Amino acid sequence: MVKEIEKVMPVVHIATVVPISKTVGANRIVPAVAIPHPLGNPTMQPAEEKYLRRQLVEKALRALQTKIDDQTVF
């Protein structure tokens, strides 16, 4: 599905298992935290987790704005 959406617009695949993202053909890959909680960490304090989430989203937004020629892990 990532490849089909990529035909219309840039897509960032935030994933915990980067090799799988590469296998399915995602071009922009942002490594996530962990499989059960890809965009957070429930063991952190709420403010720390919010900061972590914000960093991941900002990294994904930068990845969207970056011109790439091949699969790239940010």
Across the chain, what does the average pLDDT equal?
92
Per-residue pLDDT of 18-52, as tens digits, reads: 999 999 889 999 999 999 999 988 999 999 999 99
Edge-to-edge strands, sheet with 72-73? 12-15, 28-31, 72-73
User: For the chain, what percentages of helix, strand and coil (3-state, to nearest 5) are there?
Assistant: 40, 15, 45
CB 68 within 8 A of CB 24: no
What confidence score (pLDDT) does residue 12 get? 93
Residues linked to residue 30 through DSSP beta bridges, in sequence order: 14
- Between CA 5 and CA 28 the distance in angstroms is 12
Enter the pTM of the model.
0.84
Question: What whole-number percentage of the chain has pLDDT above 70?
Answer: 97
Q: What is the pLDDT of residue 62?
A: 97
pLDDT of residue 25: 87
